[in-house]
Chains A and B, each alone.
Chain A
Amino acid sequence: MLRRVLRQLVLVLPTLLGVVTLVFAFLHLVPGDPVEIMLGESAAPADVAALRHDLGLDRPLPAQYARFLMRIAHGDLGRSIAFRAPVATVIGDRYPATLELAGAAFLLALSLAVPLGVLAAARAGSMLDRLTRIASLAGACLPSFWLGPLLILGFSIGLGWLPVSGRGGPLHLILPAVTLALGMMGVLVRLVRASMLEALGEDYIRTARAKGTPGWRVVAVHALRNALMPVTTVAGLQAGALLAGAILTETIFAWPGLGRLVVEAISARDYPLVQGCVLTIGVSYVTVNLVTDLVYQAIDPRLRDAD
């Protein structure tokens, strides 16, 4: 198992290098001079030259790349122009809020999708099954930037039950988490239902039923354990995607996280901060996928016992 973990860690290194390289390339895709765009046309030539030097843009491209890699390796993401502070510090201040939101959305989506998918599969063809399928399709079709304002309109402005925006207690978390979770829930419900239907058609389920195992036990223990294997992979991918989805949700609810920071950085043309945010979300995504792979290998006996 340890060898497998180490191999996975080594395999992820080229991907991380690719992510860093892509983030480095962003600054060079900016049409025109990025320094002049950041500081504006009226900036003093001395300021332009100083920032160009600070960003390393006055050096040859390979030297810029090597310097970028060295800085990243030391945890130095540069300096934010808008916040006048190190990018790593600005991101560090905002990251916990995004983790809180994405974590809540992940738990909400999973805790609703698994029971709904199992019930729909166990009662395939029933009214409950049809309603679940319609709800999951709706979840996959409703864009979060539309659903969020509608929820604010209904639950904050209309009923006055929940705060409109901002980060505070658990009540502040409900609407953003629901908005972010719905898309993931739609995907997972369909997947759990399909996996359960497949598992329930297997021979070992027929054997369990023939031996007189109670129906609930066949579904909840025998079928569910196997049906959840593919769900683990997709749930992991979706968890990573929540970090990017948070950009829209945090903008709608003025949630002070990394997603909103990306939008603020883009508006301020603060390219070092944009690079830092994209790199942080990209590395988080790769890490979540790595953890998902390892979890999958740990819970699947065919892979676990292969060592």
Chain B
Amino acid sequence: MRTRRRGYRAVRVGAAGLLLLALAAIAAPLLTSADPYAPALEERLRPPGPGHPLGQDTLGRDVLARVLHGARISLLVGAVTVGLSIAAGLALGAAAGYAGGWLDEVVMRGIDLLLAFPGLLLAIALAAVLGPSVRNVVLALSLLGWAGYARLVRAEVAVLRRREFVHAAEALGARPGRIILRHLLPLVAPAVLVQATFGMAGAIVAEASLSFLGLGAPPPLASWGAMVDEGRGFLLVAPHLIVFPGMALAATVLMLQLLGDGLRDLLDVQDRA
């Protein structure tokens, strides 16, 4: 009971924080009139002050406007990456777990291979060969991200597949696709939802890491990781350049962690994979 209460509180805090962030990202032009891409070289590296609450960057651009537009990139990359990864992971994991046999072997070997590398290393290598762009970041992270979901779904489906209600549905003539879609996936959904929350945090940090290394969103796009990298050279004279984008990133990841922890407690999810 106490765990559920704690979970409910964490979900409320995490979801409210994320909602606020998403609203701020969407309503960025209403929150600040500054153009995130308009340079003002005579005002470069100005600290926070009237007109520019979070200061100005190396080209005199408004840091608040860039942080808010950075939220758009982070949330978009996180959501699309998780969406694509789930779609591929669900399809492959459910098919492997249900069918078993050679299909299961092939899918499991693919998963083992991808998980045999540190995720960040593969993402860096893929982004390096594909070239720096937001689309390539999503592609690289999705190509790697599906394995975690497929492993989870396969493990859940392989267990559920032996339950009596599945045998009953098969006896009534239901096709495998229908059994998976109508009977098994709804039972797997809570575990996938929890993993997706942590996965989105991972994708957002990975995008920022790639942009920090110059392999993600290309200039002049306002990615939080690229902003931290740009501000690194001006630590002494303009620490605000790294403080605010980093705070935005850490707060976003914290909200997603809280949401994931809370959902796990609320939905009573145990990771079978």
What distance in Å separates the Cβ of B256 from its nearest Cβ neighbour in chain A?
9
- Check A146/B242 contact, CB under 8 A, given A14-B109, A137-B254, A248-B213: yes
Tell me the nearest residue of chain A to B236, going by C-beta.
Answer: A157
Q: Is A31 an interface residue (CB 8 A)?
A: yes
Give chain B residues whose Cβ lies under 8 Å from the Cβ of A149.
Answer: 228, 231-232, 235, 242
Give chain A residues whose Cβ lies under 8 Å from the Cβ of B246.
Answer: 143, 146, 150
Q: What class of interface size applies to chain B in its complex with A? A: 35 or more
Most B CB atoms within 10 A — which of A142, A143, A274? Answer: A143
Binds B, one of A68-76, A84-92, A106-114, A280-288: A280-288
Which residues from 210 to 267 on chain B have a C-beta closer than 8 Å to any C-beta of chain A?
212-215, 225, 228-229, 231-232, 235-236, 239, 242-243, 245-246, 249-250, 253-254, 257
Residues 223-248 of A, flagged 1 when their CB comes within 8 A of B and 0 if not, give 00000000000000000110111011
Binds B, one of A22-30, A39-47, A93-101, A209-217: A22-30
Query: Are B228 and A146 in contact (CB-based, < 8 A)?
Result: yes
Residues 256-280 of A, flagged 1 when their CB comes within 8 A of B and 0 if not, give 0000001100110001001000100
Query: Are B119 and A244 in contact (CB-based, < 8 A)?
Result: yes
Q: How far is the CA of A31 from the CA of B127 in the complex (A)?
A: 12
Q: What class of interface size applies to chain A in its complex with B? A: 35 or more
Q: How far is the CA of A142 from the CA of B205 in the complex (A)?
A: 9
What distance in Å separates the Cβ of A21 from its nearest Cβ neighbour in chain B?
8
- Check A19/B209 contact, CB under 8 A, given A141-B253, A262-B124: no
Tell me the nearest residue of chain B to A278, going by C-beta.
Answer: B125
Tell me the nearest residue of chain B to A245, going by C-beta.
Answer: B120
Most B CB atoms within 10 A — which of A31, A146, A274? Answer: A146
Query: Are A244 and B120 in contact (CB-based, < 8 A)?
Result: yes
Most A CB atoms within 10 A — which of B124, B205, B257? Answer: B124
Q: Is B116 an interface residue (CB 8 A)?
A: yes
- Can you list 7 pairs linking A and B with CB atoms under 8 Å apart? A141-B250, A141-B257, A143-B249, A146-B242, A248-B120, A281-B117, A285-B118
Given pairs A18-B109, A149-B228, A248-B209, 9 additional interface contacts (CB within 8 A)? A15-B113, A19-B116, A26-B125, A31-B130, A145-B212, A146-B249, A153-B242, A243-B118, A274-B125
| Residues of chain A having any CB pair with chain B under 8 Å | 14-15, 18-19, 22, 26-27, 29-31, 137-138, 140-143, 145-146, 149-150, 152-153, 157, 240-241, 243-245, 247-248, 251-252, 262-263, 266-267, 271, 274, 278, 281-282, 285-286, 289
